[in-house]
Amino acid sequence: QSVLTQPPSASGTPGQRVTISCSGSSSNIGSNSVNWYQHLPGTAPKLLIYFNNQRPSGVPDRFSGSKSGTSASLAISGLQSEDEADYYCATWDDTLNGVLFGGGTKLTVL
């Protein structure tokens, strides 16, 4: 079980807005920025959000990130079928002195 807690699954219909949460503690999310990755089977994970709420070039503005205290969220608006993937949060942990990944959330577009 990961130190960063994500719901194992999420779902929505095309056009809907979905959010995925990532809950941690003071030694990780509480004191470090959060990054989000999109992972489709058979491909390399893709950086989706960095520094809590920044989008790399090429990532649609339908994807947004936020952080409050020891929790973070990824929001996807205008859900599309191609958004169906696994999503992971990641951050640095000051106690571990290393990188933590959340357990991952499988997003299904109904």
Partner 1 sequence: QLQLQESGPGLVQASETLSLTCTVSSGSIISRSHYWGWIRQPPGKGLEWIGNIYYSGSTYHNPSLKSRVTMSVDTSKNQFSLKLTSVTAADTALYYCARKGGGGLFDYWGQGTLVTVSS
Q: Which residues sit at the interface with partner 1, rule CB under 8 A?
A: 2, 32-35, 37, 39, 43-47, 50-51, 56, 86, 88, 90-92, 96-104
3-state secondary structure 52-87: CCECCCCCCCCEEEEEECCEEEEEECCCCHHHCEEE
- Of 44 and 68, the one with the shorter C-beta distance to partner 1 is 44
- Of 37 and 109, the one with the shorter C-beta distance to partner 1 is 37
Q: How far is the CB of 44 from partner 1 (least distance, A)?
A: 4
